Structure 1
């Protein structure tokens, strides 16, 4: 129980850290500051989840609202790493892969584009996992099993109904975990988008384009926790 709590908060810290450096300048390190008033944050304002709650979701200096996405991604980060096994090679490999998937989701939320280098590193991790724990025949079988879904998603990419990053995300989790989990992730993420889209569309956005990767990552985190 204690280890799970530690894992949760460790994951929340990583999610907060990645979100802050991505939203400021795209993976450039500098001291954290309020994006509204530009005041540097004190140490007491840097505790994921707790700082948001104690400050009632506002900046202590300018009183402007802190984006709720930060709290959301911190909680999702905690859920993602809740069951991480730090004492096994597979657990460490999965940790680094999930960090990259989390980074993709955050990039997609803020910019709706992802640096291709992140995809390359993610695929490299998948290959390392396959070489260490699987056989080449298993990789070939996985590719054949997902070929129909890959073609279907590829058509949606060509029709500009889906981003190329979404297709790459599907490939990564399909080969690393299983095509069954990848299909479930897309199913639940699609249901979440269909649920939220009418409400967001009605608010104020005429040409609403929702980033899909945050929904995919959230679905992956929840399903991993339940399985």
Structure 2
């Protein structure tokens, strides 16, 4: 990278680090159970178990309560699609990288899991972790996930490259890094036969951003949850076969 450009980027990154005030993790219980809107009791035997692990998008930063966050919204949509209750839980922390997912959150997941949702990447990009480290961690996470869950779906980074709080040059550099990370993640997920959802390149709803200009609002999480569920290729199979 051009030394002058590198200096500008580093200065903008430092400015953002000490200027942008990130929304905290949403308060509230990080587990729950939801029933489908048109619940037919005799159609179900047990709730499906959805476990989400990852960064602030899973922790619900940007909304006032966990009920408004990403994972329970995903659970509600799955419940309506398969007409079964969904029991959900999250293991997440603001600022988490894929390495934290690998060594902290995955080991916390115990027992049978129907759907494991993995969401991390933005912090790896912003921390300028090497591509080699990212690939190593993602592969290890997917390999472990497949031993813990019947179905796994991996989510891309969010959209820090579109954050209205960040300087333009920094946004462009983040976009370049996220483009690479997204393509690499898609390729690895295909290799392992797990689903991947690209939220990093989705056209955002007009009120996507929370008050911190960095995390999703309630509307943003609603949009993201729809993208995640649409990418779950296994849901029709689950509807037909799980009893």
Q: TM-score range by the shorter chain?
A: 0.3 to 0.5
Q: Give the structure with the larger strand fraction.
A: 2
Q: Give the structure with the larger helix fraction.
A: 1
TM-score (norm 2): 0.32
